[in-house]
Amino acid sequence: MANPNFPENDPRQHTSHIRQMLDTAAQHAREDVTKVNDPKAKALFETTAEVLKGLSKAYQDFEGKSEPAWR
């Protein structure tokens, strides 16, 4: 979903969209943890969720220029 607060040529328009997709995928992975019995699959899904949330945070930091690397 596009962010109407940013024009099309603003990178934050695109990072916002990607961040939403990452958050959705992380939520799905976390939900799948409860749907399987295989401990290795549970660990894989939980690890997937954690990595995606970390990546989403990096996108959020970029959008807000809240880290020195993005200033």
> What are the tens digits of pLDDT across the range 7-43?
788 888 899 999 999 999 999 999 999 999 999 999 9
Model-level pTM?
0.83
Write down the pLDDT at residue 12.
86
The answer to whether residue 52 sits within a structural domain is: yes
Domain count, the chain: 1
Distance CA 19, CA 25 (A): 10
Q: Is 45 domain-assigned? A: yes
Print burial letters for 13-43: b (CB count within 10 Å at least 16), e (below 16).
Answer: bebbeebeebbebbeebbebeeeeeeeeeee
Q: Which residue range forms the structural domain that includes residue 34?
A: 12-63
Residue 71 resides in a domain: no
Q: Is 18 within the bounds of a domain? A: yes
Residue positions counted in the chain: 71
- Torsion, CA 19, CA 28, CA 26, CA 24, rounded to 10: 10
**Banded pLDDT at 67 (limits 50, 70, 90):** confident
Residue 71's pLDDT band, with cuts at 50, 70 and 90, is confident
